[in-house]
Structure 1
Amino acid sequence: MKSKIILENIQIHANHGVLLEEALIGNNYIVNAEFHADLEKASESDNLNDTINYAELNDIIHQEMAIRSELLEHVIGRIISKIEKAFPQITFIKIRLTKTVPPMRGEMSGVSLEFEKEII
């Protein structure tokens, strides 16, 4: 059975970016994450030990977002790496990280980076 856990529109304030202002003032970010794993056992057992605790996934995302980086690519890479190590039953990870007010000209809803990793 293919199962997905999806964390949608996690809003976090963090201090990522190349510019000094971004380090000092910070910015608002939105994180969307998708994880694939076989969760059929949990669908039958109703036992938290047979699934992936999405609160723990959320905690990892918040922990990694709290560590300042210049590049959003680096933040996403750390999130994927930590989740991959913590939950070996996950077979696919997709993280989208959106900076809602990027320091660029023009009106926009944000700039996003999205990484996907299939884990064999």
Structure 2
Amino acid sequence: MDTIKIENLEVYAHHGVLEEENVLGQKFLLSLELGTDTRKSGKSDELKDSVNYAEVAHFVNTFLQENTFRLIEAAAEHVANELLVRFPIEQVRVEMKKPWAPILLPLETVAVSIERKWKEACLSIGSNMGDKRKNLEQAISMLSKHPKVRVEKVSEFFVTKPYGCVEQDDFLNGAVTIKTLLSPRELLDEIGVIEQKLGRERIIHWGPRTIDLDILLYEEDVIWEMDLKIPHVEMHLRDFVLRPLAEIAPDKKHPLLQKTVYQLFCELSRKE
């Protein structure tokens, strides 16, 4: 990943725990490392093909002057997220220095440094009630409208038999790959909101539903919590999950089984 650096941008703003810091303001120094691909601009020599660091600097200056935070950790977090949403960068490192920190001791500066980036996740999606295709398309549209989600690829939709013993209509299933600034827990919450808006009711386990969204993979994370398990516990056993996912993300690796989605799909197909 190539990097564009801005070092020690001076901003006079009103951040701090003490009331006088919010009223009087003080100097902050911002250093930014913007992770992007400079190959295109390096070949074209055109600013439109790059990240305009002047626009970045002016945006950060304005943002920190128009908003007030008690902690520089919070200020840095919001700056990082805003930059990732607004500019064509994949990752960012923000260092925020506070040279006038009121601790009544001699010091050069107090600083916080954070790194944030767009993370990759794979989702399964299905519906077997009402207008199934419309349900899937609406869910994907709602995902794409979230400022911290970028829908990258959407698979074909496949008609599949329902899983479990409940008598119900066939499903229409697919898979979606996204990039997101949401944590796994935040992504799970957003999925819950989308399901609720589209009329999902959890009455019967493995029963019929207007929409079903599941997190299959999130980077190479392994999470084992009561209501959040990543990678999805049974993804390697379900054809309706692996078939569409193998279409759009065949090389994604299961972090526990250490096999690609395509390998898992081929193994399951041979068994069936």
- Give the TM-score normalised by the residue count of structure 1: 0.91
Q: CA deviation at 1:105?
A: 2.7
* Equivalent residues of 2:93, 2:114 under 8 A apart: yes
1:30-55 per-position Cα deviation (integer Å, ceiling 9, x unaligned): 11010111110111111111111111
The runs of 5 or more residues in structure 1 that have no matched partner are none
1:78-120 per-position Cα deviation (integer Å, ceiling 9, x unaligned): 1111111112x31220000011111103110110011111323
Q: Which fold has the larger relative contact order, with Cα–Cα distance below 8 Å and residues 6 or more apart in sequence?
A: 1
Task: Report matched runs for 1:47-62 at 5 Å.
Answer: 47-62=46-61
Which residue number in structure 2 is paired with residue 42 of structure 1? 41
The runs of 5 or more residues in structure 2 that have no matched partner are 120-272
Which residue number in structure 1 is paired with residue 13 of structure 2? 14
RMSD of the alignment, in Å?
Answer: 1.2
Which residue number in structure 1 is paired with residue 216 of structure 2? none
Question: Residue 25 in 1 paired to residue 39 in 2?
Answer: no
Letter in 1 for 2:42: S
1:6-64 per-position Cα deviation (integer Å, ceiling 9, x unaligned): 00111111110011110111111111010111110111111111111111111221122
Q: How many residues align?
A: 118
* Equivalent residues of 2:14, 2:21 under 8 A apart: yes
For residue 114 of structure 2, give the secondary structure of its aligned residue in structure 1.
strand
Which residue number in structure 1 is paired with residue 74 of structure 2? 74
Task: Report matched runs for 1:85-104 at 5 Å.
Answer: 85-87=85-87, 89-104=88-103
Which residue number in structure 2 is paired with residue 5 of structure 1? 4
* Equivalent residues of 2:41, 2:50 under 8 A apart: yes
> Separation in 2 of the partners of 1:65 and 1:82?
11
* Equivalent residues of 1:30, 1:99 under 8 A apart: yes
Q: What fraction of aligned residue pairs are identical, expressed as a percent?
A: 25
Larger gyration radius, structure 1 or structure 2? 2
Higher mean displacement: 60-69 or 94-103: 60-69
Which residue number in structure 2 is paired with residue 114 of structure 1? 113
> Separation in 2 of the partners of 1:81 and 1:69?
15
